Amino acid sequence: MRKVKEVLRLRWAHGFSDRQIAHSCGIARSSVAEYLRRAEAAGLTWPLPEGLDEACLEQRLFPPSGALPAEPRPVPVWADIHREMKRKGVTLFLLWQEYKEIHPEGYQYSQFCCRYRDWQDKLDIVLRQEHRAGEKLFVDYAGQTVPIIDRTTGEVVPAQIFVAVLGASNYTYAEATWTQRLPHWCASHVRAFKFIDGCPEILVPDNLKSGVNKAHRYDPELNKTYQDLSVHYGVAIVPARSQKPRDKAKVEQGVLLAERWILARLRNHRFFCLAELNAQIRTLLQELNHRPFQKLSGSRRSHYEQIDRPALKPLPPEPYRYAEWLKVRVAPNSHVPVEHHHYSVPYTLVKRQLDARLSANTVELFHKGTRVASHQRSDHKGGYTTVRTHLPKSHQAYLEWTPQRFVHWAQKTGLATATVIEEILASRPFPQQGYNACYGVMRLGKHFGEQRLEAACARALALGTASYRSLESILKKGLDRRPLPEPTPAKEPVHHENVRGPHYYH
């Protein structure tokens, strides 16, 4: 049922706007505008003539089809208007001016805009997002950077601007960081949570590589470290859909405000360190959050205090400590390589893929979400950190060997064998690197017998080839049973008047 009388009464008797009338009557603004247009065209005034009931008013304003004259005003080609609006710098007011130059009898600006919006609404129905208190925190980086000058070299380094906006109150946080990489990305989140003094329910980032490994419309793959941060603060991460800026309109607006009200005011400043820039940003950020709204009462700060802050979850007792995650595979020796150092895990996980969590001081290893090992982080490249119980019993016995024990065992076989063992251990930068070769020599003694091993070691020493490979070759070919080669006699020194001799050089 049409509410024409009520619309006319609110406009002509009380002077309400189209928006207020639409809200009061529960109808669209376009319907309000259409009723008023038809009433003016019909020559009606307020109060309405006596005897003009609802049925007569309906018939007068909405006659049967064909009774009203055709629209005399030329209608723009809205598709062309829409296409022109996508061009940089083009506004609807400019397009209306061009339209009026061609059609002076055409629509006035308000009707031009209204009809264009009506046409535009038919293209894509947009859901207006209603943000609940304490629900969402939108995060992103501004496209604009701030140059920082190195006092020593004069090099100019662009600083990145991180922006976070609470959905309900528009309370805004901003800071400068050196890069957009994962450590700075996570650290900015920690400081943003501290700034708003609480945790929201949902984080809405853009599909930045630091936060999202693989963007997807329905099931994005989150970075493991970023997910670790969300678990620590008890928030859910729901990235904006790729190429859907409406999903993060709040932070887009926040970025725009940061560029206009903070970065634009700092455009003529010269900064020589990041701390100096962040100090200026904090001052201007406070002004921005306390600045009164144009169409609403209060400010971002007052709305935050009244709406968002009471609904935010409390911060955890300790801030998040940054840690990186890596995919590693267990080697046959029950160790995994992490940044050129090797850490042990239970031998039952050999050849399995694990998740390694690297913090500043520890390395934690997880299999299917369960922690299976934890070690003190080491910077010793090529070194090994081993827990004895992680290895099979045979390997645990192997770890009990020392250089002295290998030499003591070899002396029981013979002097040549002990000498070979000593040379093998001395030929390596670290004695432990020769343990495998020494252990192999022991196995040769068990297989071929200690007497043959001693003979093979004597031959290897005579040939100057004291190594496991040489001993294995001698024993397999039976060369240990042959007599040792005679030592080559030393040559007599040459005496000649032209030979100066060693005394000349002293």
Tell me, what's the pLDDT at 220?
Answer: 44
On the question of pLDDT at 395 being above 90, the answer is: no
Exposure pattern of 93-112 as b/e (b: 16+ CB <10 Å)?
eebbeebeeeeeebbeeeeb
172: closest CA among 296, 268, 291, 279?
291
Is 195:222 a contact under the CB 8 Å cutoff?
no
Q: Flag whether pLDDT at 487 surpasses 90.
A: no
Band of residue 394 on the pLDDT scale cut at 50, 70, 90: low
Proportion of the chain above pLDDT 90, given as a percent? 13
pLDDT at 399: 58
Q: How confident is the model at residue 38 (pLDDT cuts 50, 70, 90)?
A: confident
Question: Has residue 191 got a pLDDT over 90?
Answer: yes
pLDDT higher for 175 or 39?
A: 175
pLDDT for res 211: 46
Write down the pLDDT at residue 294.
75
- Rounded CA separation 140/98 (Å): 38
Q: 193-197, 468-472, 496-500: which has the minimum mean pLDDT?
A: 496-500
The C-alpha atoms of residue 190 and residue 266 are separated, in whole angstroms, by: 25
% helix / strand / coil in the chain, to the nearest 5? 45, 15, 40
Q: Which of 162-166, 201-205, 277-281, 293-297 has the lowest mean pLDDT?
A: 293-297
DSSP secondary structure letters along 379-393 = --TT-EE--GGGS-H
Tell me the average pLDDT across 364-385. Answer: 86
Q: What is the pLDDT of residue 193?
A: 93
pLDDT at 67: 45
Predicted confidence at residue 246, as pLDDT, reads 52
Report the distance separating Cα 283 and Cα 485, nearest Å.
Answer: 89
Mean pLDDT of 323-331: 86
Query: Minimum mean pLDDT among 184-198, 239-253, 293-307: which range?
Result: 239-253
Does the pLDDT of residue 249 top 80, yes or no? Answer: no
Q: What is the pLDDT of residues 59-117, one digit of tens each?
A: 777 776 554 445 567 888 887 787 666 555 678 888 888 888 888 888 889 889 988 88
Give the mean model confidence (pLDDT) for residues 404-408.
85
Q: Is 472 exposed, middle or buried (0-12, 13-18, 19+ CB in 10 A)?
A: middle
Confidence of residue 188 (pLDDT cuts 50, 70, 90): very high
Considering only residues 11 and 51, tell me which one the structure prediction assigns the higher pLDDT.
Answer: 11
Mean pLDDT of 426-434: 69
**Over the chain, what is the mean pLDDT?**
80
Quick one: three-class SS letters along 53-72?
A: CHHHHHHHHCCCCCCCCCCC
pTM over cut 0.95? no
Write the DSSP string, 454-481. HHHHHHHHHHT--SHHHHHHHHHTTGGG
DSSP annotation string for 186-249: HHHHHHHHHHHTSB-SEEEE---TTTEEE--SS--EE-HHHHHHHHHHT-EE-PPPTT-GGGGH
Instruction: Summarize pLDDT for 2-35 with one digit per residue, the tens.
Output: 678 888 888 887 788 888 888 888 788 888 888 8
Average pLDDT over residues 237-253: 62
Instruction: Inform me whether the pLDDT recorded for 418 exceeds 60.
Output: yes
Q: Which residues pair with 204 in a beta bridge?
A: 138
What is the predicted pLDDT for the residue at 34?
A: 86
Distance separating alpha carbons of residues 441 and 213, to the nearest angstrom: 50
Mean pLDDT across 481-494: 68
Nearest Cα to Cα of residue 288 among 251, 264, 258, 255: 258
Task: Grade residue 215 by pLDDT with cuts at 50, 70 and 90.
Answer: very low
User: Is the Cβ–Cβ distance between 427 and 390 less than 8 Å?
Assistant: no
